[in-house]
Structure 1
Amino acid sequence: MRKVLLSVFFFLLLAFTCRAQELNCEVTINTEQLQQTADKRLFTDMRNQIFNYMNNTRWTNDVYKLEERINCKLFITITSMPEIGSYRANVQVISSRPVYGTSYETIVLSNIDKDWAFEFTNAQPLQYSENSFTSNLASLLSFYAYLIIGMDMDTFAEKGGSRAYDRAVDVMNNVVAQGQNNPGWKAFEGTRNRYWLVTNLQDPQLEPVRSALYTYHRTGMDVFATKPEDTRVNILNALRGIQQVSRLKPGTAIVRNFFEAKSGELVNVLRGAAPADKQAAFLLLSEIDPTNTTTYSGILK
C-alpha cells in the first residue's frame, strides 16, 4: 500500500512539474542614472518582486511545458525618483522564440518604453488582478506579459495571439479608468506607446503584419535548417505584406517594432539569396524601413 501511495505521489509530482507558467523572464534593474542616493536593498527587492510577478503568475489557461516557456527580458533603467516611493524608468522589453531544428533563438519583440512611471514600496507586494487595477507597476508588467504571449502565439498560428491582445487591452482600459496621470496608455501621448502597440495589433487594416509574423517564423525561419531557399521566399512574401501596411499607414508602431527586432537577422538570412533576390530584398527593405538602409546594404555583399 505504501509503495502504491508513493507511486501516486511521484506521478502527481511529475505531472505538476511538467506543467509550467508561460514566461521565463529575466529582470535587470539599473540605477546608474539616479541622482539621489538610494538603498540598494530596495532595488534588489523591486527586482525580486518583478521577477516573481512575471514568472509565477499564470497568464492564460494554456498548458506550457517547462521547455516551452517564452524567453523574455526586462531591462529596467531607473531614471529618476520624483519623491520617496515614486519612480520613472526607461524599459527595454525583449522576447524570443526558438527556431525549429536549431539552437538559435529569434527575437520576436524588442521595444523600448520610455514612459514607465510607478510607485513601489517593500511593504506593498505586487498583486495581480485579472479584472481590476491594483497598481501601475502591476499593470505595466501585465500588459507586457500579455503582449509577449500574444506575439509569440502569432508566430506559431496565424492570428493566434488575439485573446492575449484582448487581455492587454483590458489592462490598458483598467489603468485609463482610474483617471490618474500614468503616461503611455493614451493615444494622444505619442505614436509608438503602449496604446498604439496593442491597437495596431488589433487593427484589421494592419492584419498583414500579424500574418507576416506567422509566415516569417513558421514557414520561414522554422524551415531554414533544411530549406533555406524556401525560407528566403517566404520571408520576402512576409515583407511584401508589411510593405502594404507601410504604404497604407506609414510609421505605425508595430511595423517599427518588427524591424527593431529583425533588421540584423534579415541581413544574415537574405545575403545568401540569388543576386536578383538580394537586390529586390534590399530595395523593398529600404522602402519600408529607411532608417536601416545602411544595415540592409549588407545583403548585397
Structure 2
Amino acid sequence: MGMFAKKIGWLVAGLLLPFCSLAQELRCEVTVNSEQVQATDRQVFQQMQNAISELMNNTRWTGDVYQNEERIRCKMFITLRAMPQIGVYEANTQIISSRPTYGTGYETTVLSFVDTKFEFEYNPAQPLQYAPNTFTTNLTAILSFYAYTIIGMDNDSFARLGGANALAEASNILNLVTSSGTAATGWSATADTRNRYWLINNLQDPQFEPFRSALYLYHRQGLDLMGQDPEKARQNILEALRNVQQVARIRPGAAALRSFFEAKATEVSAAFASATPEQKQQAYDLLTQVDPTNRAKYETILRR
C-alpha cells in the first residue's frame, strides 16, 4: 500500500476501504472564465475546461495507491485575459488545494497560489496528455507542474518532507520546459518572484526545509490534534510558525512564504482564539513580524 492509503486511515472507516475503487490522486474542480475574450466559437472554452479537468483528474501522477476518499481536493480558476491570435491565450489562474482535518468537517487550505504568467496554446483537436520526462505543450507542462506541486505539498502536510518525490517531478518539468527552448513566461528567474520557477525553487531549496517541516507540524501535529489536545496543538502550531520565521529571516518575501500566509492568516488567527494570554501574545508577535501585511487579522488574536 502506498503512502496515501496509510496517511488518511483516520478519515475513512476501515470497513469501507475494501469496497472503494482505486482512484487517481486529484479531485480537481476546473473553471475557465472567458468573459474577457472575444471569439465567434465559444464552445472552445467549454472544451478547454473539460480537457483540463480530464488531464488533472484522470492522470495517474504517482505510483501511490489512493482510495476514492483520499483524492486531494483542489480547484483551478482560470481567467482568460486575452487571445493575441487564434488558439493562443494569456490568462491568470488561481490554484487552491485543501485537505480535511482529523475529527472535524473542516478543510484547511494547503496551497493557494496565483499565477499571472499562464500563457498557452490550445487546440481542441489535440488531446492533453502527460508524458513523463517529455515536453509536449506549455499547457500540459503547467498543469502537470501544478499537479505534482499539489501532491508534494499535501504529502508534506502528512509526513515530514513527505512530498520530496512529487516536488522533484515538478522541478523536473520546469527543467524540461527550459531545456526545450520554449519562450513561455513563468518558468525562469525574474525580479517578480511570483511565478512557477520561484515557487518550486523555494520548495526544493535546502534552506526551506524548516518551512516544509512546518507544513507537517502545522497540519498533522497542529490542526489534526486541535480536537483532542488544543493546548498541545497550539504549541505545535507556534513551533511551525517559528520554523517559517527562520526561513523568512533568510528569504523574506519568498513565493512559498507569501502563499502560506495568504492561505493561513485567517485560520491561524482563529486557532489562537481560545489560547492563553501568553500564547496569544507569542503568536501575535511572531505573525506580525513575519507577515506584517496581515497585521489587521492578527490583531483579532489579542482582542478575543
Bin of the TM-score, shorter chain as denominator length: over 0.9
Deviations 1:243-295 (A, max 9, x none): 11111121111111110110110111112111121111111100000100011
Matches within 5 A, 1:10-25: 18-25=21-28
Q: Which has the larger radius of gyration?
A: 1
Structure 2, gaps ≥5 residues long? 1-16
Query: Percent of aligned positions with the same letter in both sequences?
Result: 56
Local SS of the residue matching 2:167: helix
Local SS of the residue matching 1:54: helix
Task: Write the letter of the residue equivalent to 1:182.
Answer: A
Deviation at 1:16, TM superposition (A): 9.3
CA 1:246/1:38 → structure 2, altered by over 3 Å: closer, same or farther?
farther
Which residue does 2:236 correspond to in 1?
Answer: 234
Which residue does 2:113 correspond to in 1?
Answer: 111
In the aligned structure 1, how far is the partner of 2:20 from the partner of 2:279?
47
- Give the conservation status (yes or no) of the 8 Å contact 1:183–1:189: no
Which residue does 1:126 correspond to in 2?
Answer: 128
Deviation at 1:33, TM superposition (A): 2.3
Superposed CA RMSD? 1.3
Deviations 1:13-71 (A, max 9, x none): x979521100000000111222x234221010000000000000000000000000000
Which residue does 2:164 correspond to in 1?
Answer: 162
Figure out how many residues of one structure are paired with residues of the other and give that number. 287
Local SS of the residue matching 1:91: strand
194, 197, 213: which is aligned to 1:195?
197
In the aligned structure 1, how far is the partner of 2:182 from the partner of 2:257?
29
In the aligned structure 2, how far is the partner of 1:83 from the partner of 1:280?
54
Deviation at 1:223, TM superposition (A): 0.7
In the aligned structure 1, how far is the partner of 2:66 from the partner of 2:138?
28
Deviation at 1:183, TM superposition (A): 0.5
Structure 1, gaps ≥5 residues long? 1-13
Which residue does 1:10 correspond to in 2?
Answer: none
- Give the conservation status (yes or no) of the 8 Å contact 1:184–1:190: no
For the pair 1:208 / 2:217, whether they are aligned, the reply is no
In the aligned structure 2, how far is the partner of 1:16 from the partner of 1:177?
45
For the pair 1:278 / 2:280, whether they are aligned, the reply is yes
Task: Write the letter of the residue equivalent to 2:30.
Answer: V
In the aligned structure 2, how far is the partner of 1:174 from the partner of 1:17?
36
User: Would you identify which runs of 4 or more consecutive aligned residues in structure 1 move more than 6 Å?
Assistant: none
TM-score by length of 2: 0.92
In the aligned structure 2, how far is the partner of 1:23 from the partner of 1:254?
21
